[in-house]
Structure 1
Amino acid sequence: MQLLPLRELPQKLRLFAKYHLTHQPARGPVADDELGHALLPFDLAAHYRALEHAPARERNELAVVSYGGVDYPILALAGGAAPPRARARLLVLAGVHGNEHAGLFAAERLLEEAARPGSVYDHIELCVVSPVNPVGAAHGSRYNGDGRDINRDFVRLHTREGRAVMRAYQRFRPHCVVSLHEGPQQGTFVFGNSAVDDELAERLTRAIAESGAPLAAHDYFGRTLHPPGYAGQSRATVALLWLWRQLIGMAATAELAGRDHVAELTVETPWRLDDAEQRIAAQLAAVRAAAEHLARR
């Protein structure tokens, strides 16, 4: 654990409460640059066009959210192997936080990659949900139109976006979930829930490193990562998350999947990195590693 100067403690506690203890931390889809966020040149209309033309086997509208008189669909796109040929099901979530753009670009490329003959996705049924938070994506905001963080909403399901993800999860019944995020840390790492085994964790860090992305030595809480690039759940972490769920009424997608003993991987690329391609490549490498692990079932 990195030592924190005492003068920084009040600010760190305020940010922790804002991001992890507050159900509605903002008034609408506001910009949130307290952590030094570097937005990529993302255009939501172009993203919808890319998804429309992506080589998906099937497209479904999970929900439509409205903000400022504009309707924004949340889409679920099927790729990879069709059942019953598929060996396993992989659910990928992109744009849960609308200002974390690398995952949205990665979702477009993932569908292209999954359609190529001979890829690992020949053995995997893929469901890509994007954009999970379209209002946030349109406004460069972490939050949805109500100012809520969707990735804290998997207990009470206040948000239409959270309910859409829950619906996709329950219908698709994945063997693994990969949620594409970005964070303020140096380097890329992955949060893995208690259902992630050592083999998958090792495969993930190796794939990310081979993509050219440096692995994070610390997560954004300051914890030292052993090995670099991977943050698993200890017994203490599991206990804290249980308290978070029971006392605060919050849970992220890791806990949603963990309740069913389903592996969940939250990929965190560094949003301060100017190299957009490296951020996107690391996201794709993590999804590919999860697919390769599932293909061995």
Structure 2
Amino acid sequence: MDPKSKAERFLSLVERLSLRPHRVSELAQLYGVSVRTVERDLEALSHAGYRIEQLGRGLYRIPDRPPTLHPVEALALFAAGRLLYHQAPTRQYENALEKLAKMLPEPLRSLLLKSTQGLEERRGDSRTLEMVARALLERRVLAFEYRSGGSKNWRPKEVLVYFLEANRTNLGLYAIGYERTYHRQILTFKLNRMRNARLLEETYEFPEDFDPNVYLRQAWGVVGAREETVEVRLRFAPEAAWRALEGDYPGLTVDKELPDGSLLARLKAVPFKGGVPWEVLSWVQSFGPRVEVLSPPELRSLWLEEARQVLAKATESVGIRG
């Protein structure tokens, strides 16, 4: 290998051996070199001052002391690692997870590494992910083609990326930024609905008045708002009330507990076409008949209409239409 590749291999060796013990044969296969080359690399690292420990025949590690963490801090990082694994669209996330695991004390480190195996099989679009990440880091305008949910048409977009958000429902990644080609406002774009992403030479600065906390405060998902929102009022049946009371839904406010055990609650969300907050509708429907939409009228009408369509299907004979 050339000197640059060798230097990169040395850095990778230090990271991997600090994370967990590795066998020489395993490392040789990983880097595509001979076992003897790995042994020479280990000797060179030892001469450079790294403490190389041999735990068994062909098994080595570099002792590493993770930072001192409060138990709750360690648990928070472990939970972040699990969420990262579930959200990871590509195998490139494996390196990030390994670096996160390195910060954890045992046994959380080993548990996280074991529970996140299989990322090498992920085949997501790493190019789009890289372009969006670089757009944010380098503050360069991102150009791409976008297909909205349910649409068959791809439309060109140019966006100044201000923020990246993971949807707490489906864990998908979304880019939030100023769309300058048509709408000329801050919008949210799902990464896996993009194609042919590329960076333009033009750069930009983050606007001082953009605060992701303010933008997402009234989001029921990832579609935020700086201005208009609608208030949604709901009635939870007694058998679903406990889910609302547990507080797992940020932005949901319980107004009143009724004598029969049901709840009156409300939330604010961003309206889409027709004044309907679609993100809220799909969430409400996940409760089945245990949640009733009281207002706004547009959402209640659509909720009832879709319930009628479900009922109509239930009364039809089951069969496959040609």
TM-score exceeds 0.5: no
Structure 1 or 2: larger strand share?
2
Structure with higher RCO (Cα < 8 A, 6+ apart): 1
Q: Which has the larger radius of gyration?
A: 2
Which category of TM-score, normalised to the shorter sequence, fits these structures?
Answer: under 0.3
